[in-house]
Each structure stands twice: as structure tokens, then as C-alpha cells.
Amino acid sequence: MADYDYDLFVIGAGSGGVRASRMSASYGARVAVAEERFLGGTCVNVGCIPKKLFSYGAHYAEDFEDAAAYGWTVPAPALRWKTLIDNKNKEIERLNGIYRNLLEGAGVRLYEARATIRDAHTLDVGGETVTAGNILIATGSWATVPDFPGNEHVVTSLEAFYLDELPKRALIVGGGYIAVEFAGILNGYGADVIQLYRGDMFLRGFDQDVRTHLAEEMGKKGVDLRFNANVARLEKTSAGLVATLEDGSSIETDCVLYATGRHANTAGLGLEDVGVETTANGAIVVDDRFRSTVSNIYALGDVIDRFQLTPVAIGEAMALSANLFKGENRQMDYADIPTAVFSNPSIGTVGLTEEQARNEYGAVDIYRSTFRALKHTLTGSEERTLMKLIVDKASDRVVGCHMVGPDAGEITQGLGIALKCGATKAQFDATVGIHPTAAEEFVTMREPASD
């Protein structure tokens, strides 16, 4: 590929793009990457990292309250929102610098400019013509706001991380993980939160027990959940915002946050001019080697709309780099991907939902436990934890693990290893629990729930 400037040109320096760039360079490829916005992509700047930081902070109000039961006298806490934003911004800037150093250290040329595709091997990068043997598109996804009167007054998760002040009243529209996370975050910081979802129950695609349990717990914490509801129009007034719903009722609020979905960030890249096929939402169609309909143009991560998760994008990047420049033949394994939702309380899930397991295996055993954590026997909190195992009766293999409760993501990571190894319920039962912990419940559930 000496006839080209680079062996690989990557558009997008998010988690997937940076990993593909670094690994490809380590295999001897000449690599460049273009990023027009911020290094680290959605995850570092307006996704996983700031969201988890916000989530940590949102729990302190409950922690201060719980501390009294353990003998601590805590003065009435006061929130300085600006301190949170400033400290979060400093951490993001630090991570941006780390990503820059990783690329430079790997010998990857970084273009901080917009890149568009002219033909299969030629790009315009900030006005400069660049050629490459292979092109990788890793431009991620972007928040989608539906078209309705007054939608110019809403914010999305992108802007929510930079609010000048905490809204006293917040209306969150959406039923996915971003919506429930921000409902818990803003509620935890002290805002009066209403969450609307147009369906019967939020978190479509998650296990039904997980969905209903989280709804109950969020309600206990003061989040006003309103299902089968949607905004028809939004008006700005001197007192804030007024949302008129489709049923004619109205809600007065200070902030309307829309978390109703994301679309692939492919507009204006020139894909249609070179014959790269995309779906209705802009996602790039690729095969199991991440090759698009143009043989030397590849795509991975959120922009292919398979699993919009940072570790998945990184795994895809590792496979692609090894295939292109190390002569390997790797495929990404999408089975049993552990997932966490940093709601309040949080969710951890891996494997199949009960509904999926019944469809796939027919006969399954369900093990389910709800309990009040030991911590709250002193605090008096009514928060309850849910744990659930789904077992294929024929093989005794555990095919699904689900949890709603503190540290669910941390606990579920270990369960993900067990499922990946094909662990059986008998092996779960033979494992000695760590006492007293919530996690031990996963190895002490003995009686299946009645169908």
C-alpha cells in the first residue's frame, strides 16, 4: 500500500477508533485518525465517564441520610453544582490528554479536523487531500430529538453534562437506559423529576422483573413515573417551560431532557457518493468482518448500531486490526455481553431475559430473590434488591443473570465470566458464598419460583 499516504485512515477518535488506530500501528501499519470534536468520543466526553461520575455524586444525599443510623452526625449538606461541573470537566480534559498521548505514542498521525470521503481511497481532511489503502469509519452516534413544536427548547444527554445550574424541576422524556439514569441522577441531586414514556413500561428489551422492580424502587425515591404519556408541544414562558401532553394535560418545568434514542453519526461523510450502504437511521451495513459494501471501507462501534457499548467497540477494533494487519481471522463474539445501567438503584444483566430463554429453550427454571440489604436494617430504608437466575432445565446451564440493587454492575461482571464458561446451576450451588454480602444470594438460591 506504499502508493497511499496511509495503510489505514480512521474517521473518529472515540474508543473504537483509537483502539483500532493504536493496534493497527503496533502491527506495522501506517495509520492516521481524524477527529473534529473531542478525543475519546461519546464515552469519555458525554457518555460513560461523566455519567458514572454524576451517578456517584447523586448517591451522596442518601449516604448522608443513612450515616445517622451508624452514629454519624452530619450537618445539613449543601450542593455546589458548579464544583461538580468544574471537577468533571477537569477529569475529561485529563482523559482527552491521555488519548492524545496514546495515539502519539503509537505513532499514529492525528488530524484535528473533519474528514469526508471523496472516493474509495481518497479523503478530504480539513481541506487537505489524503489517501489510504483502507478507511475505517468510527464516528459513533448522536442524540435524536423528534420533531414537534417547541423542540428547540429541549436538552439531550449531550448538553445535560454542562448545565449551568441544577434545575429545580426536570421533565425527562424517554424509556431507555439514558432516560432512567438521568432521572436517578437529577432526583438524587434534589430536582423534582417527572419521567415520561410513551409505552406501558420503560427499558424495553430488559427482563420484565428488572423493569417492574426498578420502576417500584424509583417511585419510592420520589421519581414521578408516567407511562403511556408523550409530549405534544413545548412552550417557553417567563416561569420556565410548559409541556403539553398528547392527552391535553400540561406539566410546568425548568428543564426538558429528551433521551428518546440515538442515530448513527454518518451525515455528510460522503458515504452515498462512494456506494457505502446505510440503514434508515444512518447506520453503516457491514459483514462479520466489519467490511461495508465498499471492499476497503470498514465501520465499527455505535455507527453500525449493533451493541452501543464501549467495550464492544473496543473488541470490534481489536478484531479488525488483527484481521487487516496481522493476518488473523477473528470474529466478534456478541453472546452473553454483560451490561450495567447506572440507574438508582443500578441494574446489572448478562445473558437472556426470561422471555428470551423461554422462547429459545422452552423449559426453564427461574430463581428469584428480593430482599432488603443488610445495610438498611439499621437505616430503615425500604429499598429492596432483586436478583434473578434463569436456568435451562435440559442442560442445567445458567443462561441469564439479572440484578437490581447497589453495585449491580460490579457483581454482574463476575457472573459474566461464569456464563461465558457455561456454568451450570449445580456449579453455582457448589460455590461458597462470601458472607455477609448481597452477592452471595446468587449462589444460595435453591428453590425455583413457581411458573
pTM for the complete prediction?
A: 0.95
Give the closest residue to 385 by CA, choosing from 324, 439, 443. 439
Which of 219, 243, 260 finishes a domain?
A: 260
Handedness of CA 318, 322, 328, 329 (dihedral sign): positive
* Residue 361: half-sphere exposure toward Cβ, Cα within 13 Å: 22
Task: Say how far apart CA 170 and CA 183 lie, in whole Å.
Answer: 8
The identity of residue 27, as a single letter, is Y
CATH code, 223 = 3.50.50.60
Q: Are residues 268 and 248 in the same domain?
A: no
Cβ–Cβ < 8 Å for 388, 366: yes
How far is it, in rounded angstroms, from Cα 16 to Cα 19? 5
* 332 within a domain of the structure (yes/no): no
Is 449 among the domain residues?
Answer: no
Residue with cell 455546589: 80
Q: Residue 361: helix, strand or coil by DSSP? A: helix
Q: How far apart are CA 266 and CA 72, in angstroms?
A: 53
Residue 272 and residue 255 share a domain: no
Rg (CA), the chain: 24
What is the C-alpha to C-alpha distance for residues 107 and 328, in angstroms, rounded to an integer? 22
Task: Identify whether residues 107 and 176 lie together within a single domain.
Answer: no
Of the candidates 205, 219, 217, 255, the one whose C-alpha atom is nearest the C-alpha of residue 234 is 255
Task: Classify 222 in phi/psi space as left (phi over 0), alpha (psi -120 to 50) or beta.
Answer: left
Q: State which amino acid sits at residue 83.
A: T
If asked whether residues 162 and 131 sit together in one domain, one would say no
Task: Please tell me the number of Cα atoms within 13 Å of 114 on its side-chain side.
Answer: 9
Per the document, the length of the chain is 451
Contact present, 204 and 260 (Cβ < 8 Å): no
Angle (deg, nearest 10), helices 354-361 and 208-220: 170
Give, as one character, the DSSP assignment of residue 435: T
Strand partners, 234: 243
CA distance 66 to 73: 10
Peptide bond before 436: cis, by omega within 30 degrees of 0? yes
Q: Which helix (H) or strand (E) holds 41?
A: helix 41-46
The C-alpha cell at 95 is 482523559
Residue 333 within any structural domain of the chain: no
Domain identity same for 138 and 13: yes
Are both 234 and 321 inside the same structural domain? no
Element (H, E) at 84: helix 81-105
Q: Which domain holds residue 230?
A: 151-260
Question: Which of 234, 260, 286 is the last residue in one of the domains?
Answer: 260
Identify whether residues 171 and 139 lie together within a single domain.
no
Task: Tell me the angle at which helices 177-189 and 208-220 cross, rounded to the nearest 10 degrees.
Answer: 20
10 Å Cβ neighbour count for 283?
20
410 vs 407: CA distance, rounded Å = 5
Are residues 45 and 164 both part of a single domain? no
380 Ramachandran zone, left/alpha/beta (phi>0; psi -120 to 50):
left
- In a domain, residue 330? The reply is no
Instruction: Spell out the per-residue pLDDT of the chain, length 451, in tens.
Output: 569 999 999 999 999 999 999 999 999 999 999 999 999 999 999 999 999 999 999 999 999 999 999 999 988 999 999 999 999 999 999 999 999 999 999 999 999 999 999 999 999 999 999 999 999 999 999 999 999 999 999 999 999 999 999 999 999 999 999 999 999 999 999 999 999 999 999 999 999 999 999 999 999 999 999 999 999 999 999 999 999 999 999 999 999 999 999 999 999 999 999 999 999 989 999 999 999 999 999 999 999 999 999 999 999 999 999 999 999 999 999 999 999 999 999 999 999 999 999 999 999 999 999 999 999 999 999 999 999 999 999 999 999 999 999 999 999 999 999 999 999 999 999 999 999 999 999 999 999 997 7
450 belongs to a structural domain: no
CB neighbour list of residue 97: distance below 8 Å, 6 or more residues apart: none
- Return the pLDDT at 1: 55
**Residue at 451 is within a domain:** no
Three cell numbers, residue 236? 417557553
Residue 344 in contact with residue 55, Cβ under 8 Å? Answer: yes
Q: Is residue 352 part of a domain?
A: yes
**Measured between alpha carbons, how far is 245 from 262 in angstroms, rounded to an integer?**
22
> Residue 311 — φ and ψ, nearest 5°?
-65, -30
Parallel, antiparallel, or unpaired: how do β-strands 141-143 and 339-341 relate?
unpaired
Q: State which H helix or E strand residue 339 sits in.
A: strand 339-341
Q: How many domains does the chain have?
A: 3
Quote the CA–CA distance of 118 and 109 in Å, as a whole number.
20
Please tell me whether residues 212 and 285 are part of one structural domain: no
Residue 115, domain member (yes or no): yes
Strand duo 339-341 + 347-351: pairing: antiparallel
Catalytic, 263? Answer no
